[in-house]
């Protein structure tokens, strides 16, 4: 690098789409201090490098695909997509715009130069199928996209000072066939890769070097020109048009032969010669000097002088490079040497520079290869100034500039380096000053020690990269696994939430049974999780079972809390089941608070799955960046309710009298016995009554009774499906005990009354009988079924009555949804019953308030009266209809 000048200097920035500029359409041309730039949009910019200002911007009616500058005449030619070819005079830009007030208002105030709309009259060759063009001194060459073949057309160029519109067509030839891209009917579709056209002149031709651009025109040495295009082109001193097609063909057409073919028609295929096939889209054609002496001489040429190139190059989109040069064979004969190189791709753009170097850009880097370091002449019989061969392989040198979509190489600078003009994918125009003599040194001798050290460094680097790849692969695998798990979780959530009232794809059923653990009977709940869906429950899923007793649910200020069991769900595939058994009681006080609610929920842990993938705790990867905390999910997870099951007194009753002789019925549950009390009980006399509160209450206090009456018609409608042919009282008792383990024995014996034992050891008697309600309906008595609960324990009778009322509420709600109607009733009688109940409720409140203020002697009578009122309330004269 010469001096302290920066290697890369940004000149200006231009608008680009969100994803950046696409390769193939942007163009950068440089003439003296002016830069002509197209980003592939409708705008063409003119930038002054000396002043550092944008001097003009031309707006075309559609995207601009290609630019070429005819420098001596100060004419800028632009190919507008689906419109045709436009010509702008740079000396009189105002002629190319309309002068309406709308155009003056449309100027962008943020830009330092006016946006000049191009007048429709500037279109000199309207053709919607035009895809490429190139210019010679007196000929305009175009390439048109036909229905199935490419078509090359030649037009006469007007003389300087005349109207720039081309004259009549002087030649036409069809090139190879192609598969047209799909498009809208009546509107040709733009090809993904545009064809490339450039003109080639022999060194003896008098055609001036008027074109400046990525692939405008160049002059070849006579030796290479004759070997490539034949004796006819050499004798005629005719320019040749090279055409690189999107299918990979590199072909040529001799212009004078094409012009004379109109007057002497012949085989049109003879006019087109295929030089090579790259088998990938051709994106660049150029030429350069590769011989060392010739290259040094070429660098000293003035900018306007022609350089006679001795090597032709062409680039394919995927990195294949073709180089053709005149070289000596083993017999001393001059032959064309053709070599293909495979370079890193995809290639976005390319340019030929001085010193036999070719620049090409990929999405990740801007590289340079040197074609001047070829082989020496093959034998001593060739002259020393004879051409050398092409290098057997090319090693691209990185310039550490990425995403260049258009490139232009200027002549050698005064400091002795090379200057590149580049446009990046982000729309930045920049200059790159290169001193390639220092950046591309020749191979130096290496000692054994330095070679060994270099090998160690390379092996160490390979090891570090391998370790990093291993860590990154592990991280990618974890995140892919997390994404798969999240997708499964989304599918499971949608399936459960959209199931409604129908069968759920993932269900959890709960059943209860008594089990003997050590010296005590324990009520066990069995929850069965069944996966009937097509999804799998894997990492992150947990089955949460919450057990909530009645004391915790009713007393919000109590210290007790619900118990939650968490069971990880691992590999529960479609059709699989998972069974979990857990105790419901007794509690620490030795009793069982009924009812008990068992709620089953599926929980998906987002922090376990997503957090583990983004910030794995077991990872010691020094290459992975630490995951920021705001990326992790705020919520712990997602809860999906599955089921809610209530365990009440009717499910927990034991019936020792129904057990078969060879089986042992579960003994009633009670508080943990004191060892001293157990010893004294075993020592009491035979025939004596056991002492204790329960036995005394059963012996001296009358049993408490609660009843509820239900219409026989309502019960028959509700129980008709599973109890046909069974007496109504027996069917009702079986329905009440449907979730009890003894229901099969009750069904087999056709019982209508039964006596069981509560978990605390008290007896509970269930009686179902038919009665007639004579005072409710004026039309006659209403047949009803009375369900009566008797027990010496007030707590047990409350729990049993609560269980019966809960089942009745569910049944009445279901029958009401089916449109059942009630008979005519005596409204006055119902009002009287309701008033009596209101009076009793007010008396209950008064008695409870009195108990809080009275002494022990007075509170006994109040408590007895309170019990009597409760008994009256539990014997309503109403009936469920």
Same domain, 588 and 714: no
834 versus 312: the higher-pLDDT residue is 312
Cα separation, 40 vs 23, in Å, equals: 9
* 241 domain residue, yes or no: no
Q: How many helices (H) and strands (E) does the chain have?
A: 18, 43
Cα separation, 804 vs 680, in Å, equals: 39
204 versus 57: the higher-pLDDT residue is 57
588 versus 257: the higher-pLDDT residue is 257
pLDDT at residue number 151: 92
CA atoms 620, 625, 629, 635: torsion sign: negative
Question: The domain that contains 521 carries what CATH number?
Answer: 2.60.40
Same domain, 702 and 640: no
* 199 domain residue, yes or no: no
Cα separation, 168 vs 733, in Å, equals: 108
pLDDT at residue number 214: 37
pLDDT at residue number 78: 94
Which residues have a Cβ under 8 Å from the Cβ of 146 and sit 6 or more positions away?
Answer: 129, 174
Cα separation, 218 vs 794, in Å, equals: 112
Same domain, 730 and 585: no
- pLDDT-derived band of residue 300, with 50, 70 and 90 as boundaries? low
pLDDT at residue number 270: 76
- pLDDT-derived band of residue 655, with 50, 70 and 90 as boundaries? confident
23-68 tens-digit pLDDT: 888 999 988 889 999 998 999 999 998 888 999 999 999 999 999 9
Same domain, 702 and 812: yes
725-751 tens-digit pLDDT: 788 899 999 989 988 888 888 888 888
125 versus 203: the higher-pLDDT residue is 125
State mean pLDDT over 442-458. Answer: 74
860 versus 732: the higher-pLDDT residue is 732
* 789 domain residue, yes or no: yes
What one-character DSSP code corresponds to residue 690? P
Same domain, 609 and 654: no
Same domain, 654 and 565: no
| pTM higher than 0.85 | no
Q: Does the pLDDT of residue 614 top 80, yes or no?
A: no
Q: Does the pLDDT of residue 90 top 90, yes or no?
A: no
Q: How many domains does the chain have?
A: 2
What tokens appear for 690 in the block? Answer: 């056991």
Q: Does the pLDDT of residue 485 top 90, yes or no?
A: no
pLDDT at residue number 318: 94
* 836 domain residue, yes or no: yes
* 460 domain residue, yes or no: no
* 95 domain residue, yes or no: no
Same domain, 574 and 710: no
List, in sequence order, every beta strand (DSSP E) within 207-281.
Answer: 211-212, 217-220, 240-244, 249-254, 272-277
What tokens appear for 491 in the block? Answer: 């599918």
673-729 tens-digit pLDDT: 555 555 555 555 555 545 445 555 555 567 888 888 888 888 888 887 767 778 889
- pLDDT-derived band of residue 197, with 50, 70 and 90 as boundaries? very high
pLDDT at residue number 585: 77
pLDDT at residue number 4: 39
* 604 domain residue, yes or no: yes
pLDDT at residue number 22: 83
26-35, 156-165, 496-505, 558-567: which range is least confident on average?
A: 558-567
pLDDT at residue number 606: 84
Same domain, 731 and 588: no
List, in sequence order, every beta strand (DSSP E) within 74-220.
Answer: 75-80, 84-89, 115-117, 123-126, 130-135, 139-145, 149-156, 169-177, 196-202, 211-212, 217-220
State mean pLDDT over 177-187. Answer: 62
- pLDDT-derived band of residue 538, with 50, 70 and 90 as boundaries? confident
Same domain, 701 and 828: yes
Q: Does the pLDDT of residue 754 top 70, yes or no?
A: yes
State mean pLDDT over 447-465. Answer: 85
Q: What is the CA radius of gyration of the chain?
A: 49
- pLDDT-derived band of residue 77, with 50, 70 and 90 as boundaries? very high
pLDDT at residue number 103: 44
Rounded mean pLDDT of the chain? 79
Same domain, 701 and 826: yes
pLDDT at residue number 742: 86
What tokens appear for 746 in the block? Answer: 């009750």
pLDDT at residue number 236: 85
Q: Does the pLDDT of residue 207 top 70, yes or no?
A: no
Residue % of the chain over a pLDDT of 90: 26
- pLDDT-derived band of residue 442, with 50, 70 and 90 as boundaries? very low
569 versus 322: the higher-pLDDT residue is 322
425-436 tens-digit pLDDT: 999 999 988 875
Q: Does the pLDDT of residue 296 top 80, yes or no?
A: no
95-141 tens-digit pLDDT: 444 433 344 444 443 445 678 899 999 999 999 999 999 988 788 99
Same domain, 594 and 721: no
- pLDDT-derived band of residue 765, with 50, 70 and 90 as boundaries? very high
Cα separation, 179 vs 186, in Å, equals: 17
pLDDT at residue number 527: 94
250 versus 484: the higher-pLDDT residue is 250
* 582 domain residue, yes or no: yes
Same domain, 654 and 604: no
Range(s) of the domain holding residue 782: 650-660+676-681+696-879
Cα separation, 214 vs 27, in Å, equals: 8
The DSSP bridge partners found for residue 70 are: 75, 211
Cα separation, 12 vs 54, in Å, equals: 8
Q: Does the pLDDT of residue 422 top 70, yes or no?
A: yes
């Amino acid at each position: 690098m010469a001096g302290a000048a920066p290697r890369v200097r940004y000149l200006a920035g231009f608008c680009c789409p969100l994803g950046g500029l696409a390769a193939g359409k942007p163009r950068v041309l440089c003439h003296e201090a002016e830069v002509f730039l197209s980003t592939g949009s409708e705008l063409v910019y003119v930038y002054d490098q000396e002043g550092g200002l944008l001097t003009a911007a031309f707006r075309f009616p559609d995207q601009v695909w290609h630019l070429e500058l005819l420098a001596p005449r100060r004419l800028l030619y632009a190919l507008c997509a689906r419109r045709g070819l436009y010509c702008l005079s740079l000396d009189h830009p105002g002629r190319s715009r309309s002068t309406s007030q709308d155009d003056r208002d449309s100027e962008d105030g943020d830009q330092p130069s006016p946006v000049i709309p191009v007048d429709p009259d500037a279109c000199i060759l309207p053709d919607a199928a035009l895809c490429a063009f190139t210019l010679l001194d007196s000929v305009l060459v175009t390439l048109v996209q036909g229905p199935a073949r490419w078509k090359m057309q030649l037009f006469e160029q007007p003389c300087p000072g005349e109207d720039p519109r081309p004259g009549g067509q002087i030649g036409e030839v069809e090139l190879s066939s192609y598969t047209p891209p799909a498009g809208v009917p009546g509107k040709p579709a733009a090809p993904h890769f545009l064809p490339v056209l450039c003109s080639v002149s022999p060194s003896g031709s008098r055609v001036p070097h008027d074109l400046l651009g990525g692939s405008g025109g160049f002059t070849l040495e006579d030796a290479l020109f004759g070997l490539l295009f034949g004796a006819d082109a050499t004798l005629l001193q005719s320019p040749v048009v090279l055409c690189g097609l999107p299918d990979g063909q590199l072909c040529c057409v001799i212009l004078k032969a094409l012009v004379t073919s109109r007057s002497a028609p012949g085989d049109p295929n003879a006019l087109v010669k295929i030089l090579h096939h790259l088998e990938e889209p051709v994106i660049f054609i150029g030429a350069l000097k590769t011989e060392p002496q010739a290259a040094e001489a070429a660098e000293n040429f003035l900018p306007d002088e022609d350089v006679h190139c001795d090597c032709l190059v062409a680039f394919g989109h995927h990195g294949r490079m073709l180089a053709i040069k005149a070289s000596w064979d083993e017999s001393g004969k001059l032959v064309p040497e053709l070599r293909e190189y495979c370079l890193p791709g995809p290639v976005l753009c390319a340019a030929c520079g001085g010193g036999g170097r070719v620049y090409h850009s990929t999405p990740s880097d801007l590289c340079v290869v040197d074609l001047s370091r070829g082989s020496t002449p093959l034998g001593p019989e060739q002259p020393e100034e004879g051409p050398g061969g092409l290098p057997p392989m090319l090693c691209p040198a990185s310039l550490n500039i990425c995403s260049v979509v258009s490139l232009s190489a200027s002549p050698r600078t005064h400091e002795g380096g090379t200057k590149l003009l580049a446009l990046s994918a982000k729309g930045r125009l920049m200059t790159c000053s290169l001193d390639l003599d220092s950046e591309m040194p020749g191979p130096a001798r290496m000692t054994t020690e330095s070679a060994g050290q270099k090998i160690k460094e390379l092996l160490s680097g390979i090891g570090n990269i391998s370790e990093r790849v291993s860590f990154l692969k592990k991280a990618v695998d974890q995140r892919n696994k997390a994404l798969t798990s999240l997708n499964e979780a989304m599918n499971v959530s949608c399936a459960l939430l959209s199931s409604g009232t129908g069968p759920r794809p993932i269900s959890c059923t709960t059943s209860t049974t008594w089990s003997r653990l050590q010296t005590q009977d324990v009520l066990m709940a069995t929850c069965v999780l069944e996966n009937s869906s097509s999804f799998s429950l894997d990492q992150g899923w947990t089955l949460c079972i919450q057990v909530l007793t009645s004391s915790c649910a009713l007393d919000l200020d109590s210290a007790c809390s619900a118990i939650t069991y968490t069971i990880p769900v691992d590999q529960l595939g479609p059709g699989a089941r998972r069974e979990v058994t857990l105790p419901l009681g007794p509690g620490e006080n030795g009793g069982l608070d009924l009812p008990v609610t068992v709620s089953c929920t599926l929980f998906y842990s987002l922090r376990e799955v997503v957090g583990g993938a983004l910030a794995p705790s077991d990872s010691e990867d020094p290459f992975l960046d630490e995951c920021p905390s705001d990326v992790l999910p705020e919520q712990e997870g997602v809860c999906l309710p599955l089921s809610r099951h209530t365990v009440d007194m009717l499910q927990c009753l034991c019936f020792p009298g129904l057990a078969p002789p060879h089986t042992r019925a579960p003994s009633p549950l009670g508080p943990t016995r004191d060892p001293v009390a157990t010893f004294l009980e075993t020592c009491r006399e035979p025939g004596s009554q056991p002492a204790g509160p329960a036995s005394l209450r059963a012996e001296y206090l009358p049993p408490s009774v609660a009843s509820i009456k239900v219409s026989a018609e309502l019960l028959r409608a509700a129980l008709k499906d599973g109890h046909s042919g069974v007496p109504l009282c027996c069917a009702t008792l079986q329905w009440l005990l449907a979730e009890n383990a003894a229901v099969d024995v009750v069904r087999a014996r056709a019982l209508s009354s039964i006596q069981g034992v509560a978990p605390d050891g008290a007896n509970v008697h269930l009686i179902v009988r038919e009665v007639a309600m004579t005072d409710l309906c004026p039309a006659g008595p209403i047949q009803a079924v009375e369900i009566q609960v008797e027990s010496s324990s007030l707590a047990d009778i409350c729990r049993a009555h609560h269980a019966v009322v809960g089942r009745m509420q569910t049944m009445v709600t279901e029958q009401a949804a089916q449109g059942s109607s009630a008979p005519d009733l005596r409204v006055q009688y119902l009002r009287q019953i309701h008033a009596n109940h209101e009076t009793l409720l007010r008396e209950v409140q008064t008695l409870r308030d009195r108990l809080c203020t009275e002494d022990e002697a007075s509170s006994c009578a109040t408590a007895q009266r309170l019990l009597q009122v409760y008994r009256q309330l539990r014997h309503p004269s109403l009936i469920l209809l």
